[in-house]
């Protein structure tokens, strides 16, 4: 069954406390070149049947209204992945 | 006055909110997230807790609950709505108030008796206070950092929509020390601290007079009841 992958990231200008905590751990491990980490979310949505334009439009709307909160996050990508294939940009 | 308290999966303080309504002289009405029925209540409380385990974003999944359709309609018609902690997060997710919440800047869950300054004493839930009054209300949250873009902050500061500000300590890194906000109309109020935990002597925060005697939270509930009676 096809999967639609939605990726959401905290807005660039906002403090990402999770990423900051991981970046702190990297620094403690002596990683000098890895200076910053930001953590986002990846949604893998399974679709029954074909991924039509209508299904994609639905996912786009849900990505904007439910998967992300536009006050604090951006939807950075929506791609269709088939279980057999690598993700393809749409 | 009948005040509805909505229970969501993962609500923790719904019974405390019902009790606070009773202590203030109102009649609490238990409402269920899965219903499309407000049972004709005169005001609504979205209580604290961790609805849906704070999955996705705190308050996000709850804000899509069946009953939220009716809550949003009622709020837009002027029915008083109070969002406490997780309820505040739901109000933001439902866009009934401006801004959003993220994880506390220090990454920790925090619980403390929090001093606040009342910045807006004109709303349905704060009219029993005086502007500038300092109160102490218990606070307990992990995702309490209130944020909004610079233009929104300017607007809500300018329009008096900041209802409460943290005093002494900013417990979660909220912008402008904002602890609570109201909508333009003043019927919807959300805040991170828990007024329902400061409504009965012996069970509230400590005061200089006596241990656990703080009842500053009771005024939220008497405010909405007395304003309704005066109408």
- State the residue for tokens 């096809």: A2
How many structural domains is chain B composed of?
1
Question: Which residue among the candidates B85, B101, B197, B200 is catalytic per the annotation?
Answer: B85
Q: Which residues of B, range 206-225, sit inside 8 Å of A by Cβ?
A: none
Per-residue pLDDT of chain B (231 residues; tens, 9 = 90+): 999 999 999 999 999 999 999 999 999 999 999 999 999 999 999 999 999 999 999 999 999 999 999 999 999 999 999 999 999 999 999 999 999 999 999 989 999 999 999 999 999 999 999 999 999 999 999 999 999 999 999 999 999 999 999 999 999 999 999 999 999 999 999 999 999 999 999 999 999 999 999 999 999 999 999 999 988
In order of their start, the domains of chain A are 3-89 (3.30.1280.10)
Judge whether A76 is closer than 8 Å to chain B, CB to CB: no
Per the annotation, the verdict on B85 as an active-site residue is: yes
Q: Which two tokens stand for residue B66?
A: 């069946």
Domain holding B135, by residue range, is 2-230
CA distances from residue B159 to A36, B162, B177 in whole angstroms, order as listed: 37, 8, 17
CATH number at residue B198: 3.40.50.880
Q: Which two tokens stand for residue B204?
A: 């509230």
CA A23 to chain centre: 19
Per the annotation, the verdict on B226 as an active-site residue is: no
Question: Which residue among the candidates B33, B70, B101, B194 is catalytic per the annotation?
Answer: B194
Per the annotation, the verdict on B194 as an active-site residue is: yes
pLDDT confidence of residue B98: 97
Measured CA to CA, the distance from residue A61 to residue B27 in angstroms comes to 40
Kindly provide the ipTM of the predicted complex, given to two decimals: 0.85
- pLDDT tens per residue, range B87-128: 999 999 999 999 999 999 998 999 999 999 999 999 999 999
Name residues of chain A where pLDDT drops below 70.
83-90
Contact between chains at A69 and B105 (C-beta distance less than 8 A): no
């Amino acid at each position: 069954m096809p999967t639609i992958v939605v990726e959401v990231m905290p807005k660039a200008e906002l403090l990402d406390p999770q990423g900051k905590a991981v970046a702190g751990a990297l620094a403690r491990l002596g990683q000098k070149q890895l200076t910053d980490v930001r953590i986002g979310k990846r949604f893998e949505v399974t679709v029954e049947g074909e991924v039509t334009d209508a299904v994609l439009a639905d996912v786009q709307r849900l990505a904007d209204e439910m998967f992300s909160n536009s006050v604090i996050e951006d939807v950075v990508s929506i791609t269709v992945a088939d279980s057999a294939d690598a993700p393809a940009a749409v | 006055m009948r005040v509805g308290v909505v229970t969501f999966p993962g609500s923790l303080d719904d019974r405390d909110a019902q009790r606070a309504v009773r202590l203030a002289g109102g009649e609490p009405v238990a409402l269920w997230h899965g219903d499309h029925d407000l049972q004709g209540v005169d005001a609504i409380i979205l209580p604290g807790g961790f609805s849906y385990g704070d999955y996705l974003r705190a308050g996000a999944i709850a804000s899509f609950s069946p009953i939220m359709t009716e809550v949003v309609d009622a709020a837009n018609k002027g029915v008083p709505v109070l969002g406490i902690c997780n309820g505040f997060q739901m109000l933001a997710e439902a866009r009934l108030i401006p801004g959003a919440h993220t994880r506390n800047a220090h990454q920790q869950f925090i619980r403390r008796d929090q001093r606040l300054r009342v910045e807006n004493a004109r709303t349905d839930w704060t009219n029993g206070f005086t502007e500038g009054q300092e109160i102490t209300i218990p606070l307990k949250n992990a995702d309490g950092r209130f944020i909004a873009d610079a233009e929104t902050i300017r607007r809500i500061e300018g329009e008096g929509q900041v209802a409460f500000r943290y005093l002494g300590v900013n417990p979660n890194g909220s912008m402008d020390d904002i602890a609570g906000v109201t909508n333009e109309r003043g019927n919807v109020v959300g805040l991170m601290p828990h007024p329902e935990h400061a409504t009965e002597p012996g069970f509230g925060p400590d005061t200089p007079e006596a241990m656990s005697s703080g009842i500053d939270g009771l005024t939220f509930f008497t405010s909405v009841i007395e304003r309704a009676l005066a109408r």
